């Protein structure tokens, strides 16, 4: 089994985040620094992350959180308050599809690596919907140009859907997740995003949880993510 897949099954992180840990030298296999692409025998090899041995989770945990602004989606609190100051469970879980510190709304936390991969890997084109408020109106032409794609990091973003709710408020549906993508897209049109809230991932919508509240997903809600 590839090491990054094993780490996701252990509830350490998503596969993509696991690759960063491996590159950063934070993962050891049988006492030796691991490498990208390495395979392991889960029945024999000892895998440690930051000095602690990890093993696959026996049961999967699924949590939805209404993340408030001012919290980071990280286990570390070096950059400020973490969502793990809000979600305290005995299971080891990690966020799927992160939101930046200034954004709010729906965040999924789980130790199910396969689900995390399906929700984050670009090839699955997982839809996510956001409420966006900007500092000034945009013309129809500007909105069409945003929907068609914007050049970010040398690549065009995938087409998206934008529905105006008012002259400064929009619903934006993306099928990819580049870093701070929505903020950067609107910045290309000279606009500043002053509020960004994720309200849907695939068919799962944010329940009437107040900011900072969380609940475990029901089996029916989980099906909306599959």
Catalytic residue annotation: 100
Coil vs helix vs strand at 123: helix
* Alpha carbon distance 210, 176 (integer Å): 26
Q: For the chain, how many structural domains are there in total?
A: 3
Same domain, 131 and 196: yes
Residue found by looking up tokens 């000279």 in the block: 190
CATH number at residue 105: 3.30.70.580
Each residue's pLDDT tens digit, 170-211: 999 999 988 899 999 999 999 999 999 999 999 999 988 999
* DSSP category for residue 124: G
Claim to verify: residue 219 and residue 107 sit in the same structural domain: yes
Within this chain, do residues 29 and 77 fall inside the same structural domain, yes or no? Answer: no
Per-residue pLDDT of 106-157, as tens digits, reads 999 998 888 988 898 888 899 999 999 999 999 999 999 999 999 998 999 9
Is the same domain home to 133 and 107? no
Take residue 21 and report the two structure tokens written for it: 């840990």
Residues 147 and 190 in one domain: yes
Q: Are residues 154 and 181 in the same domain?
A: yes
Range of the domain at 27: 3-53
Locate 138 and state its tokens. Answer: 């945009």
Q: How far apart are CA 185 and CA 226, in angstroms?
A: 28
C-alpha angle with apex 60: 108 to 24, nearest 5 degrees? 70
Burial annotation 66-78 (CB, 10 A radius, 16+ → b, else e) = bbbeebbbbeeee
Q: Kindly state whether residues 109 and 209 are assigned to the same domain.
A: yes
Do 208 and 183 have their domain in common?
A: no
């Amino acid at each position: 089994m590839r090491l990054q897949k094993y780490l996701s099954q252990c509830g350490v992180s998503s596969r993509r985040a696991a690759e960063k840990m491996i590159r950063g030298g934070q993962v050891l296999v049988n006492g030796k620094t691991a490498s990208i692409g390495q395979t392991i025998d889960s029945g024999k090899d000892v895998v440690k992350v930051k000095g602690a041995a990890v093993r696959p989770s026996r049961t999967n945990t699924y949590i939805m959180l209404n993340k408030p602004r001012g919290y980071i989606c990280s286990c570390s609190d070096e950059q400020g308050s973490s969502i793990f100051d809000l979600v305290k469970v005995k299971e080891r879980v990690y966020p799927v599809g992160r939101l930046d510190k200034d954004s709010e709304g729906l965040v999924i936390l789980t130790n199910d690596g396969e689900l995390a991969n399906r929700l984050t890997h670009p090839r699955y084109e997982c839809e996510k919907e956001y409420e966006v408020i900007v500092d000034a109106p945009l013309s129809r032409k500007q909105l069409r140009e945003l929907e068609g794609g914007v050049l970010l990091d040398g690549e065009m973003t995938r087409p998206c859907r934008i529905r105006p709710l008012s002259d400064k408020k929009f619903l934006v549906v993306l099928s990819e997740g580049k870093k701070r993508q929505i903020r950067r897209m609107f910045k290309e049109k000279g606009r500043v995003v002053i509020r960004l809230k994720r309200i849907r991932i695939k068919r799962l919508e944010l329940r009437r949880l107040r900011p900072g509240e969380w609940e475990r997903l029901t089996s029916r809600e989980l099906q909306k993510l599959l």
